[in-house]
Amino acid sequence: MANPHLDTSEWSSPAHPDEPAAGRGMPPLLALLASGDALGGPELALRLGISRAAVWKQVEAWRQAGLDIESGSAGYRLAHPLEPLDVSRIRAALPPVVRRRVGVIENHWRLDSTSSELARRVAGMPDASFVFADWQQAGRGRRGRQWLSAPAANLQFSCLKRFAGGYAALSGLSLVAGIAVAHALADCGVPGIGLKWPNDLVHADAKLGGILVELGGEFMGPCHAIVGIGINVHLSGAMRARLDRPCVDVAAVCGGAAPSRTALATALVARLVDALERFDASGFAGFAEAWAERDALAGRRIHVEGARGAFDGIARGVDARGALKVRVAGELRSVDSAEVTVRPA
């Protein structure tokens, strides 16, 4: 699927002189600029103990990483303040019933991929564990595509869910995750979020976020799912320039004032823990009505491309397994999500 965040250029972020290893705090230059206040080059150089030329070099590197850093007579300033996630606040704000059921919650300043981090440590991680990253440099999307995001501007995280049964019982899991995310956004005052089968969150057909589910364990069970999720909170101009289709961020949907990343993360953890437990107990059937309410393709003419060719038809919702139903010349076809691209015709 040609997802704007997942189908980006092959640009890779530069190395930064002030950049710490994964899991440590925000780099010094960004920490000084994080509030959004303007600071002059000489002051930054003095406080960092480096030359003004080195300050300029680091600013340019962070611009290449996707941050909007403005420069003017007052100095350098971030167009949007940065908010590193606060894990202690996330856990403390969860409803008590969710707090008892959630596993590990951790945030890293920088990771290759939150899903890769969970996969590396899956044997030692408890059920319903969450790994967030302020900056993810090798996030994965469907069909081998990449998710690209500026540091500490959006939300990217993965959740581990264990299942006693096998893969066959997990049909519709990505749809259920999408429903949970849409509900969490609504909880935070983000209106009008639709779901585009099988794994996109949209607002007026513009991409807001995406979901990728990766399975592991035994095919017949027990198994586990790593649910990777990315959500646009503040999309910089630099990032928009690298995307190849309409996209939107939470700030724009909310009229310019996005909820805090920590508040959004708290709502997402709460909704996902509940939804994934209910899915484990009863499958997709209990979520069919919620999907229909937010189905962004229902009744529309769509174009489907896959290994078996391409065709056009009318989207008719999803079946009991979460497969897409498409009316084609009087025939109703079911389309599974594996290696398939779907877009409005």
Q: Which of 63, 143, 325, 343 is catalytic?
A: 343
Residue 121 has what DSSP assignment? T
CA distance 295 to 287: 12
Q: Which of 140, 145, 207, 261 is catalytic?
A: 207
- Sign of the Cα torsion 254, 261, 150, 53 reads positive
3-state helix vs strand vs coil in the chain, percent to 5: 35, 30, 40
Length of the chain: 345
Task: List the Cα angle 249/104/227 in 5-degree steps.
Answer: 45
Q: What is the β-pairing status of strands 324-328 and 340-344?
A: unpaired
Is 142 assigned a catalytic role?
A: yes
Retrieve residue 194's tokens.
């639709």
Residue 177 DSSP class: H
List b or e across 156-192, with b for residues whose CB sees 16 or more CB atoms inside 10 angstroms: bbbbbbbbeeebebbbbbbbbbbbbbbbbbebbebee
Cβ atoms of 173 and 225 within 8 Å: the answer is yes
- Residue 75, SS3? strand
**Does residue 196 have an active-site annotation?**
no
Asked if 149 contacts 230 with a C-beta cutoff of 8 angstroms, the reply is yes
State the Cα angle at 32 between 15 and 70, rounded to 5°.
Answer: 75
Cβ contacts of residue 332 below 8 Å, gap of 6+? 316, 325, 326
Catalytic residue among 142, 162, 196, 261: 142
Contacts for 96 with CB less than 8 Å, ≥ 6 apart:
none
Catalytic residues: 142, 207, 343
